[in-house]
Every structure is written in C-alpha cells, then in structure tokens.
Amino acid sequence: MTVKFKRVALIGLGLIAGSMAHAIRAAGLADEITGYARSAETREIARQIGLCDRVLDSATEAVEGADLVVLAVPVGAMGPVAQEIAPHLASGAILTDVGSVKQAVIEAVGPHVPAGVHFIPGHPLAGTEHSGPRSGFATLFQNRWWLLTPPPDTDPVAVQRLTDLIRAMGANVEIMEPAHHDLVLAVTSHAPHLIAYTMVGVADHLRRVTEGEVIKYSAAGFRDFTRIAASDPTMWRDVFLTNREATLDILGRFTEELFALQRAIRMGDGQQLHDYFTRTRAIRRGIV
Ligand code: NAD
C-alpha cells in the first residue's frame, strides 16, 4: 500500500501534531509538511528543531495547497481555527482533527467546512503527560487505536486515504459513531483523568499534615495518578467543558460505586470488598 500526500498542514504544534510530523517523515508519507501554532514561541521552537519543512506565521498560509489538513489544537479552539482556514482550504482536501471529544468538534467545525472538502473527524488513543513542540516522537501511535467518526455520507475514498496514512504511522483504525465515542472515552479516559486530578489535589491538601511524605514515599498507585494529573490543563479543561454530559453521567455512576465501597469499609463487609476486587481483577486480566 502506498499512501503519499503532497502537502500535510499541521495546525497546532504540540505532542500530537509533533508526533505526526515525526511519524509522517519517518515513513515518507508526505512531500512536504507545513505547520502553524498560535504562540510565536512555539513556532520558533518548531523552526529551530526542524519539526516541519515550513512553519508559517498564519494558519491560512499553512493550509494553502495542502491535500491533508490536521487540526491539532485544544478542543475549544477547533471551531475558531476551522472558521479562519475554511476559505483557504483546497478543493478535494481532507480535513481531520485529533480532538479528544468528537460531538463538540463536529458541531464546531462542521458548519465551516466548504463543499468539496472532506471532513473526517478523528482521535488517536495515544498520548503522554507531556505537551508542546518538543514532546512529539515518531512511535507514539505504534499499535494504538485511532478512532474516526466520519458522517455517513463521507466519501469512502477519502476515508480510505486517511486510514492508509494512519495505518502507515503504525496505528489501528476503527470507525465509530461520535456520541458512542464520547461515552466510551468518558469511561476510559476522561473520568480517570478527573479522578487523578482529585487524588493529587487531596494529597496537596494534606501536605502540611504529611510534611511532603506523600511525594517522598509515593508508591506506584499515587505516582501513576501524579503522572496523569500532570497532563496539559488547557486540553483537559476543554475536554470536560465539551464532553459534559457523558463525563457527568460516568462521574455519577463512579460516585455511587465509591459510596458503596465506602459503606462496605465502614460496615467491615469484607465479602463485598473481596467480590468487587475479584470482578475488577478479572477485567484487568481481560485487557492484558
Ligand atoms: P499540546 O498542548 O501539546 O499542543 C497544542 C498546540 O496547539 C500548541 O502548539 C499550541 O500552541 C497550539 N494552539 C493552541 N490554541 C491554538 C489556536 N487557537 N490556534 C493555533 N494553535 C493553537 O496538545 P496536544 O496534546 O498535542 O493536543 C492537541 C489535541 O489533541 C487536543 O485537541 C487534544 O484533545 C488531542 N489529544 C491529546 C492527547 C494527549 O494525550 N495529549 C491524546 C489524543 C488527542
């Protein structure tokens, strides 16, 4: 399978766009990669490290003549960026995004997409707690899922072209319905991030009592929470503001479970705790 784009434009030059730039280069998937980020400092760093072939000072210049445009900005910025670049998109181009929420991005971007441009929303299930133009690396997407949520009337040839590119970067592609995506991700990613933020917040409240011992003796459990809680604040603010309903639904269910376990601990109900942990261990063993 050969897939090659003439010009890939990356809007937003952080972890995901940076990793795409490295992966596209490594696999020779584009003749040219152009890039733009809002912050002048980010653009300067991207130029210094040669992240793209050309880093432009405006999004509209960056998308000029591109046959693939990738929106890799925080979810809340997708709509305004799409509105700005829309008149400059080439006819026949594929426009995709990598946002962690899909319904809100489709609502914000969809109305701006000109006729003749194929909008195929997407979400790579890959990331780290790092952000910014230096954080990307070519193997980020290896063996990870990349979900696409194209509207039913999307040109299948365009979907196939984007799928081929994603597969060539090492990821597995699955097509999903946007609302279903948002619910699944609320369980698997969004709610766990919020819980990690609160665990680290609680430890911070206790700082005076524990005199820094939480950090000094942080064992695997808490250490994992702190890694997740170090993720980019802007990105996660936007995720919760835009995937509100699904996240609130999951958090409601989570709170019920937490109260049930809290009660079992209070009542000394070892059987309930043991049964619960046995069920969750079976789930983990089904994953790995
Ligand atoms: P990042 O913080 O590393 O990079 C974001 C980039 O967008 C920065 O270069 C910033 O300068 C730029 N930017 C911000 N607002 C902009 C605007 N209005 N116009 C142009 N550029 C702007 O973030 P990231 O981790 O690469 O995330 C980008 C997108 O990918 C987000 O929508 C996020 O939800 C999604 N995503 C992130 C992860 C993850 O784990 N980090 C995983 C999958 C998807």
Strands 30-36 and 68-71: unpaired
Of 153, 176, 199, the one marking the end of a domain is: 176
Domain with 10 in it:
5-176
Q: Which residue's entry shows tokens 């909008």?
A: 119
Residue 37 CA to residue 35 CA, distance in Å, equals: 7
Q: Name the residue with the closest Cα to ligand 1, atom 1.
A: 14
Run of H or E residues at 267? helix 244-267
- pLDDT above 60: residue 35: yes
Residues 138 and 189 in one domain: no
Residues 46 and 168 in one domain: yes
Residues 134 and 273 in one domain: no
What confidence score (pLDDT) does residue 170 get? 98
What confidence score (pLDDT) does residue 104 get? 98
pLDDT tens-place string over residues 121-170 = 999 999 999 999 999 999 999 999 999 999 999 999 999 999 999 999 99
Residues 162 and 198 in one domain: no
Residue 261 CA to residue 272 CA, distance in Å, equals: 8
Residue 71 CA to residue 61 CA, distance in Å, equals: 14
By most ligand atoms within 8 Å of CB, the mutation choice from 60, 98, 189, 227 for ligand 1 is 98
Residues 129 and 61 in one domain: yes
CA atoms within 13 A on the CB side of 10: 31
| Tokens, residue 161 | 């072209």
- pLDDT above 90: residue 206: no
Return the sign of the alpha-carbon dihedral for residues 82, 85, 87, 89: negative
pLDDT tens-place string over residues 46-78 = 999 999 999 999 999 999 999 999 999 999 999
- C-alpha closest to that of 95 among 59, 115, 120, 123: 120
Of 132, 153, 176, the one marking the end of a domain is: 176
Q: Name the residue with the closest Cα to ligand 1, atom 15.
A: 73
| CATH number reported for the structural domain that contains residue 213 in this entry | 1.10.3660.10
Residues 150 and 41 in one domain: yes
Q: What is the DSSP letter of 94?
A: E
Mean pLDDT of the chain: 95
Of 151, 176, 201, the one marking the end of a domain is: 176
Predicted complex ipTM? 0.98
Residues 205 and 124 in one domain: no
pLDDT tens-place string over residues 90-99 = 999 999 999 9
Return the sign of the alpha-carbon dihedral for residues 227, 233, 235, 239: positive
What confidence score (pLDDT) does residue 220 get? 72
Residues 121 and 196 in one domain: no
| CATH number reported for the structural domain that contains residue 102 in this entry | 3.40.50.720
The larger pLDDT score, comparing residue 241 to residue 224, is at: 241
Q: Which residue's entry shows tokens 């430890």?
A: 203
Confidence category of residue 287, pLDDT binned at 50, 70, 90: confident
Confidence category of residue 214, pLDDT binned at 50, 70, 90: confident
Residue 242 CA to residue 239 CA, distance in Å, equals: 5
- The percent of the chain in helix, strand and coil, each rounded to the nearest 5, is 55, 15, 30
Q: Check: CB of residue 43 under 8 Å from CB of residue 51.
A: no
Strands 30-36 and 54-55: parallel
- pLDDT above 90: residue 219: no
- pLDDT above 70: residue 23: yes
Of ligand 1's listed atoms, the one at least distance from the Cα of 125 is 43
Residues 46 and 142 in one domain: yes
Of ligand 1's listed atoms, the one at least distance from the Cα of 132 is 3
Residues 136 and 184 in one domain: no
| Tokens, residue 259 | 């109260």
- C-alpha closest to that of 222 among 240, 198, 252: 198
What lines the ligand 1 site, CB under 6 Å?
A: 11-17, 37-39, 42, 72-75, 77, 81, 98-100, 123-124, 127, 131-132, 135, 232, 235
Q: How far apart are the first and last CA of the chain?
A: 30
